Structure 1
Amino acid sequence: MNVAPTTTRKALNICHYLPGGTESGGGIGRLVGYIKFADGQADHRVIDTRGTRFSPATSALRLAHALCAMAVSRVTAPQTVHHIHVAGRGSTRRKLILTAWARALGCTHLLHLHDYDYATDLAARSPRQLRAIRRMFAGADGVLVLGQRDRRTVFNLLGHGTDKVTVLHNAVPDPGPAVAVPQTGAAPVRLLFLGQLGPRKGVPELLRALADPALAALPWQAVLAGDGPVATYRAEAAALGLSDRVTLTGWLNAAQVDALCRRFDILVLPSHGEGMAMAVLEGLAHGLAVVTTPVGAHGEVLTNGITGVFVPVGDVTALAATLARLIADGTERAALSRAGRAHYLQYFSIAAYTAHLDQIYRATAEQACTTRDLQRGAA
């Protein structure tokens, strides 16, 4: 439930720029949707900079609309903080344009880095592109990153000043106390994958692990929920003899994901690369036993064997063995469920996240205003 702004503090005006909006923007979109709903101290507006699916024509139109909206906001609501979400590849190209426009207009703006491996993306850039990206980060009034790895990337590869960079782990809403209860007895243990279907998320390894002989005699069912080449992976599951145990749903909205999480026991995400996966936090919040890889910020936010279980990236045998153990051992699943849920409540609630974010917005706006005043005085 939204909380009315206090009478002692002026409400913030925030404008988010991200691809696909809150419904089709992947993990970034879900996060912004959660922020918008939960934050009663700010008026959040969302602008799609790419469209729900990339095409040169629609992307150019969306970006042009974003540029126009920023210019209008500069005149009609000059105190707006522009929250610009950036990842690698095409996202960086679009945000180079958008942030250059923000600097030209004098807009207060934050850069929020969401990427599964931005250092590798930067390593493939030309020297000219790297110079432009350095200017983009250096020109922002603040930079948010998902974890220490990305903080090091900003420092080491972009040469960014330490005073502007804040580590802000992702968060998700609390689904409430009615979380999933681990199965007992002969009932099938329910495994859930959430994410875009593809090699980066470890879907090929997951299917091979589910087909491993170690799981053949155990009682389980799995759902893979996410967009991507659904038909291709459905055919692969059939070829591995998994059609009667594995269901691929396609893309689901936030409400559908919540409903699924309430009925499952294990969240499995064997990713090759992540910033900080929203699916992992959703698993913790719902009390699922989380099985994932120690990539991105996962190693910072999970303790192996206590709040989650790590498997090596790309290791089908280890993944199969871990899943088989958790399917067979309800006591371990229950312990992971309790510890993961408690860990979520202590560190990853959306209420605490938005309160921290509002502090960052206000400090950034005040600092930007002071800097502009000093610049005008010097002139």
Structure 2
Amino acid sequence: MKKKQILIIAPSINVKGGISTVVKGHLGSELSNKYQIFRVSSHKDGNKLIKLLTAVKGAVRIIFYLLSKHIDIVHIHGSDPLSSLRKYFLFRIVEQFNCKTIYHFHGASFLESYVSKSPFFQHKINYLFRNVDRVICLSNTWEKQIAELIPGTARTVVIQNTVSLPERRTEKDHQEKKEVYILFLGLIGDRKGIFDLLKVMVKLKKAGHRLKLYVGGNGDVNKLEQTIDSLNIRDMVAYKGWVTGKDKETLYLNSDLYVLPSYGEGMPMSILEAMSYGLPVISTDVGGIPDLIEDDKTGFLIEPGDLHGMFNKIEILIKDRKLRSRMGMNARKKIEKEYNFDANISKLDALYQTLIAD
């Protein structure tokens, strides 16, 4: 029996970020055996010319696949308003052909950015959300917010991001350490709250706590380095660059807690990964994060920009190793139960089957 054909439109899998992680997970799953999957890169890191050429090449390849293959489903991945606008133009190409469409929405600071856009800009994004066959949301919170923001949005389905479970951490090394290790992974910039965390590190240093903050990610690295020096915390902050593979695994295994004081998120892969390694998480109540973190059970939730609250929650976990351990075990169990990779793939497979049957 001939395999059904899926065309995935997403940023290059070499782009640094959560979407590429999700797409690589799908491509490496049983979906690749069950379906014939084609992939087109719609975006690539680089200067404006590289991005423009990637977009044009992507549009040409989409047309090629739609003309030369029997594509059953086009699965489009996008995030912020600008990304959604780019996907609108690609969708207008796709809708000229007889295939089902999915918009996989990885929104981060979408709500705040959307409302500031012009009516023309909003109209294009609204058209995309209302005319695809399904919109995949990463959390129940996002599903409700999108329905309120863009009335008439196509039928939505919630499929959370997931991670594969690593080996369990052992407590032996962590009991013998004299310092508490904090981890932050993500885009270096204001949205992720890294500069708020650095300010809190100053307060923690003044309070006499023995800490080490590991920072991994890409973005405004110059500002990060300048801020570390201006705050005089070079002795307690180490920038590790963009970390992947074994290097990232080592950071998770050697850390005691994970902090992501973000101002806007969808469902951060880094929090899922941290929880899968048994780390308690301190983060903000934005996007799908409250669906992940149960306050006082798997970590702590704070308001974006609440430096005092961040200081208090970090200090609580610094002083109480048993609480860190208990929250970390609860976090791991939550991932095992609710964010299982196989269950995620089964949901996506079921959605594909439903659209094909239609």
> What range is the shorter-chain TM-score in?
over 0.9
Q: 5 Å matches for 1:95-114?
A: 95-114=87-106
Q: Please say if 1:353 is aligned against 2:344.
A: yes
Q: Which moved more, 1:152-161 or 1:261-270?
A: 152-161
Q: TM-score, normalised by structure 2?
A: 0.92
Question: Which residue, out of 306, 315, 321, partners 2:297?
Answer: 306
SS at match of 1:262: helix
Q: 5 Å matches for 1:105-144?
A: 105-144=97-136
> Does structure 2 retain, via aligned residues, the 8 Å contact 1:180–1:287?
no
Q: 5 Å matches for 1:39-78?
A: 39-40=30-31, 41-55=34-48, 57-78=49-70
SS at match of 2:145: helix
Q: Summarize the Cα distance change of 1:215–1:116 in structure 2 as closer, same or farther, 3 Å threshold.
A: farther
Question: Which residue, out of 307, 311, 315, partners 2:306?
Answer: 315
Q: Please say if 1:229 is aligned against 2:220.
A: yes
Query: Alignment length, in residue pairs?
Result: 356
Question: Which residue, out of 32, 38, 49, partners 2:29?
Answer: 38
- Cα shift at 1:182: 7.4
Tell me the residue number matched to 2:140: 148
- Cα shift at 1:31: 1.3
Q: Which moved more, 1:207-216 or 1:189-198?
A: 207-216
Q: Please say if 1:165 is aligned against 2:156.
A: yes
Tell me the residue number matched to 1:375: none
Question: Which residue, out of 178, 181, 195, partners 1:204?
Answer: 195
Unaligned 5+ segments in structure 2 are none
Tell me the residue number matched to 1:82: 74
Q: Summarize the Cα distance change of 1:326–1:165 in structure 2 as closer, same or farther, 3 Å threshold.
A: same
Q: Please say if 1:14 is aligned against 2:13.
A: no
In structure 2, what residue type is equivalent to 1:262? Answer: L
CA distance in 1, matches of 2:273, 2:352: 25
Residue by residue over 1:320-360, the C-alpha shift from the partner in whole angstroms, topping out at 9 and shown as x without a partner, is 12112211210100001110000000011211111111111
In structure 2, what residue type is equivalent to 1:299? Answer: P
Tell me the residue number matched to 1:177: 168
- Cα shift at 1:309: 1.1
In structure 2, what residue type is equivalent to 1:311? Answer: I
> Does structure 1 retain, via aligned residues, the 8 Å contact 2:7–2:71?
no
SS at match of 1:322: helix
CA distance in 1, matches of 2:171, 2:258: 11
In structure 2, what residue type is equivalent to 1:81? Answer: I
- Cα shift at 1:50: 1.9
Q: Summarize the Cα distance change of 1:69–1:108 in structure 2 as closer, same or farther, 3 Å threshold.
A: farther
Taking only aligned residues, the RMSD between alpha carbons, in angstroms, comes to 2.1
- Cα shift at 1:311: 2.0
Q: Which moved more, 1:249-258 or 1:290-299?
A: 249-258
In structure 2, what residue type is equivalent to 1:126? Answer: S
- Cα shift at 1:319: 1.0
Tell me the residue number matched to 1:371: none
- Cα shift at 1:54: 4.8
CA distance in 2, matches of 1:10, 1:302: 43
Q: Summarize the Cα distance change of 1:241–1:181 in structure 2 as closer, same or farther, 3 Å threshold.
A: farther
CA distance in 2, matches of 1:253, 1:213: 29
Q: Which moved more, 1:95-104 or 1:120-129?
A: 120-129
Identity over aligned residues, as a percent? 23
Tell me the residue number matched to 2:326: 335
> Does structure 2 retain, via aligned residues, the 8 Å contact 1:102–1:108?
no
Q: TM-score, normalised by structure 1?
A: 0.87
